[in-house]
Structure 1
């Protein structure tokens, strides 16, 4: 059935029919089952058509049939459900009353039935008595093993009558149907949030209580769910079971692989309804939306400054504490965040994993790639509210604004020189320290900035990417091209305050000014 052809009335009718059938339909007296051979092993399985349960023998199937055919005299006065035994009704009533009389002596967790407690205790003991004879994987309870076996057979006997999707268990089908109905039965009494599955509610409640019942036996770290514990254990084992078939990179969780693949495909499924910008993850979209709303929910308790994300607040807090946890083992440089360290390490390795699909240029980070792409699109989203000039990055806009304000807030504590940005200050400090972290792989020469290294490499390659549109002459860097163009335009923006003579570059002006000071900068060595 095509979902587009199903209107609200039809969906409701089908759902009501399914629910009513589950409540009222009476089973046939004779057992209705099919005998099948499994795909992976040479044994027979008996599939009971009424409830889709699977049995290993014909006798078990007929015995189970009596459950459907036998009258159920014990009725729940709250919901009307019927049971074969009084003990089953007693256990069922605890769902309504919330009573959980069976307690785990290790972690204190409570359960409705003793059987559930027995299964739970296996989390602590590690016991997994139910093994799959096909692949050898073990499970804490028989129901998990039954579900697992369907992976080998591919069997999904429970079908959604609305969209046709199939499921391995009736429980999963019931949960899925709630997507169509919008029904969320399970309610958190603390914050009022609703969930379609009780298991999701149980996990959610642990966020309120702080309960983390799953402990790593290697390092002692605790987790809210067993799945998170399993993922964590891969840190100790080094297991990365999810591999990218394009580049071979491996990941500890499937969700990381899904996100990684979007680097190759360029897929950005999350779209901003305000400006139309797209993002790889929903979390990045959420952060982006705060740029429009101005929301900054994360506040520094020391200085009161607010931030759009907790990670930015964490990085900022370290500026107060002086904490620099991330250290480069190659050069010893420290960084506040691990992402900054990762980007820095690429200076040493030369790794540039992000490439532009238009010009095939490579970059060390996704943010550099995003900025680069604006060269192709011509996008300049950051506008100056004073003069209207637009810029490719917010950093360039901030630098430009200083031309209006004259503000240079970044001071060198050695010589007192001030700068309009922290980046320029850090580059300047290298003149005092002599640090030149950027090395030429061809001749070994070192430079204080990556830009200087890039220009230097062009001496080896002969590349001159900056071309004059008037005469066609090419240059190694943009600044030389700008100076050259002035020879065509006649522009000389640099003036001598002593004699009024003008020059095409600041370098020529400084050389000229030495005539007035009688300074002779070049000494004869003889």
Structure 2
């Protein structure tokens, strides 16, 4: 058994596995993603204390950065949807006029001022005055049930889908006060519900319960169409929408590029690409991304670890998708779709064409006689980075894994170019 700490490499008696219950391996992966952390690594008490301190500081920075950016974001536009068709509007009055087009031989009703006004004037002693607004017109009433009756009688909206409870911090509306209370917890951001198995924290008890099902991995929810099974009913519903539902019936549609999405989360993440809202930033190169998963995928390219190896040749990759493409393209194994890149950048001096503008610019250097890649060992010069790397590997035994000169080829290249 290894008795050394994986961080300081000291041999001490008080060691614990980094894959223990307090999720040390997760924190190490978040702080130092360019290194590979194995479950059987040990860590000492002093390094654990430093890790906890660094992780807490990182979380603090992330929290205040999000708060600062959210304060600078423009106020979201409230969207009003018609219950009779898929039309959406940004103005309640226009929506109200549109709804009456679905009701033949009806005129817009005249609302008696004695029943309600736009501002509720009913005040109960020692009670906070409440008001509920109609999501179609500008009517305000003191009771939620009055709004439900109003929407049913005047706008022909089914009572069970009326949402009189509106969040005072965003544009979301709900059918019950219980759902509104649960929603407000996400604005507070207090993660008081902690998983006893892995230590992850959640805002609501229901979110924690759903998460704990993943540890049991019972997969009791089976799909009736295919052989897949899931740990939660929510995951099964998402699977049915994404895999077994016609994309033309997907609920969420982008007004910018007309793409449709089965889930609200996918739609919201897509809209961030149009607005440029990229809150996940790489601490190495400062490149920003829309989602955490994209950032984690990007971090692999800063690492030299290639865990996905081909069993049929000596190739290895940082991403499983690239391995699947290699297997399909080189060995005819699997059904991965091999991408075909369009060569839309043509050279003016010769018949060559390229799929990327940067490759065309590098190619143009060969016609101009520019050779920026110079070998420090034999003074050979190359205009293309690919041929420069091939020369370093075959002639000087310098590979990207760091053989030969004790550093990777990209580091050597930066020294050459400086």
The answer to whether TM tops 0.5 is: no
Q: TM-score, normalised by structure 2?
A: 0.43
Q: Which has the higher contact order (CA 8 A, sep 6+)?
A: 2
